[in-house]
């Protein structure tokens, strides 16, 4: 039995290459098709926090297609006390946190210097609106760059860690397009299923199932 632990972006990141549909509804319909056909060969999992994240994308959470999609997914909290990881993983994690914190500090210092220079512009009699536009541009730039430094390629939520631990626990495949989840999934040593291979894998399992059925039928005859 193959096991796939699904991230939210499987259904929403159409550009990632999962190739399950042109929008979320098509993706869910395609997923349901494979889930029905492969019930004896495949199990799909999501941690509760990822399910919550999945549902947060919808205003109407009672749509039949949403309920049907989730009906084929086993919702399971990872058993944290039973999973053990080697010490080097946590050394890598702490080093990464420290590096990102230092980079964030440097970025903050850079913004303070730029803000100081901007205040000097007051002498040139900037009006309030002009000043707010300029300072607003600096703040926006800071937010974007700070997010890039501290979150891109990193585990920035417990939900992300749940995905990795649940994958390890079930010896399944991590299915995600999130750079941080993928990067740290590799550090933690879990199996992964790249987005562009996921559907091909499902097709292969479907073909294998058909061939098994033919073999069984021939043996019976």
Q: What pLDDT does 13 receive?
A: 93
Question: Within 10 Å of residue 81's Cβ, how many Cβ atoms?
Answer: 6
pLDDT (0 to 100) of residue 80: 75
Q: What is the arithmetic mean of pLDDT over 50-56?
A: 95
User: Comparing 16-30, 39-53, 90-104, 200-214, which segment has the lowest mean pLDDT?
Assistant: 90-104
Residues whose CB is less than 8 angstroms from the CB of residue 6 and which lie 6 or more positions away in sequence, other chains included? 44, 45, 46, 50, 73, 175, 176
Q: Percent of the chain, pLDDT > 90?
A: 46
Please give the mean pLDDT across all residues of the chain. Answer: 82
Domain-by-domain residue ranges, the chain?
2-77+157-220, 87-151
CATH number of 2-77+157-220: 3.40.50.1010
Backbone angles phi, psi at 79, to 5 degrees: -85, 85
Confidence (pLDDT) at 131: 65
The mean pLDDT of 184-212, rounded to a whole number, is: 89
Q: How confident is the model at residue 31 (pLDDT cuts 50, 70, 90)?
A: very high
What's the confidence (pLDDT) of residue 81?
76
Token code pair at residue 154: 């990193």
Please name the residues in contact with 148: beta carbons below 8 A apart, sequence gap of 6 or more.
none
| Better-scored residue on pLDDT, 140 or 147 | 140
Residue 205 predicted with pLDDT over 80: yes
| CB distance 115 to 122 below 8 Å | no
- What is the rounded distance in angstroms from the CA atom of residue 178 to the CA atom of residue 163? 11
Task: Identify the three-state secondary structure at position 14.
Answer: helix
**H/E stretch holding 175:** strand 173-175
pTM over cut 0.85 = no
């Amino acid at each position: 039995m193959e096991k796939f632990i699904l991230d939210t972006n499987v259904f929403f990141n159409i550009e990632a290459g999962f190739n399950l549909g042109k929008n979320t509804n098509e993706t869910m319909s395609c997923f349901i098709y494979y889930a029905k056909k492969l019930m004896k060969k495949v199990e799909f999992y999501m941690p509760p926090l990822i399910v919550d994240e999945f549902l947060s994308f919808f205003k109407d959470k009672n749509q039949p297609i949403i309920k049907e999609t989730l009906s084929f997914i086993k919702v399971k909290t990872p058993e944290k006390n039973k999973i053990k990881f080697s010490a080097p993983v946590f050394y890598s994690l702490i080093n990464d946190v420290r590096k990102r914190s230092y980079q964030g500090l440097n970025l903050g210092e850079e913004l303070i210097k730029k803000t100081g220079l901007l205040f000097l512009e007051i002498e040139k009699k900037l009006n309030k609106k002009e000043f707010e536009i300029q300072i607003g541009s600096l703040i926006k730039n800071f937010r974007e760059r700070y997010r890039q430094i501290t979150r891109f390629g990193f585990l920035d939520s417990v939900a992300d860690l749940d995905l990795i631990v649940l994958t390890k626990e079930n010896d399944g495949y991590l299915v995600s397009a999130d750079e941080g989840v993928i990067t740290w999934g590799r550090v933690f040593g879990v199996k992964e299923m790249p987005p562009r291979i996921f559907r091909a894998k499902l097709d292969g399992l479907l073909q294998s199932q058909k061939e098994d059925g033919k073999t069984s039928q021939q043996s019976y005859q």
